[in-house]
Structure 1
């Protein structure tokens, strides 16, 4: 019986450890939230790359200062983000219930950025706080 258990263990071991070192490829990426205060400080000191995922029309009407219009510029993201892959990159959309930010956050992570976060307050929270917004001039 002991011989059988030993044989079974020996045969099963390679199958049990075959994928032990692999990362979970199907596991969705998690992007930690950044507080309003942290983001406002980073925007003020220009130490963050901000990506707006609300769509180009909303972007024109109001955005966090310095934000990139993801809808219009997603194909150029590699050229628009800083060369330093450790730079703080923050993606946001409309507000706490919006999940559209994930596309931009994943795109930044796929480009090798290692400090990608989510601002869950979104543009609605940013405006509600009284923080400055940029907008395109009305024609």
Structure 2
């Protein structure tokens, strides 16, 4: 299991620019709504999570030492766990998970962005 980060800590890290946020939802969901400045590496379908991560991580996350936070929809969602674990296998050294995901973010009236 990936180390966790709270919403409060994530917001603080985002405001200070000291974290790279990765949305692990499918592209259509990411384009509809994501955390500000988040990058997208889809973790669904689960069988393709490693393939997507292998292909996209070098471009989306060029710094393997950067502080990275992965998230998906909510606590039961497994996308972020699949992508986060794969990032660790690829040599990324500072990966954490915002377990409660975008549903918690939105429920707390925090801003989101849209790509559409």
Q: With structure 2 as the length reference, what TM-score do the two structures score? A: 0.82
Q: Which string of whole-angstrom CA distances, capped at 9 and with x for unpartnered residues, describes residues 83-104 of structure 1?
A: 2x33211111110111221121
Higher relative contact order (CA 8 A, sep 6+): 2
TM-superposed CA distance for 1:112, in Å, is 1.4
Specify every segment of 5 or more residues in structure 2 that has no aligned partner in the other structure, as ranges.
Answer: 44-51
Number of the residue aligned with 2:49: none
Distance 2:62 2:18 in 1: 10
Specify every segment of 5 or more residues in structure 1 that has no aligned partner in the other structure, as ranges.
Answer: 1-29
2:59 to 79, 95, 100: 79
Within 5 A, what are the aligned runs for 1:24-103?
A: 30-71=1-42, 74=53, 75-83=55-63, 85-103=64-82
Structure 1 runs of 4+ aligned residues shifted over 4 Å read: none
TM-superposed CA distance for 1:82, in Å, is 4.1
Number of aligned residue pairs: give it: 107
Equivalent pair of 1:92/1:122 in contact (CA under 8 Å): yes
Higher radius of gyration, 1 or 2: 1
Distance 1:71 1:101 in 2: 9
From the superposition, tell whether residues 45 and 82 of structure 1 become closer, same or farther in structure 2 (CA, over 3 Å).
Answer: farther
Pair 1:112-2:91 in alignment:
yes
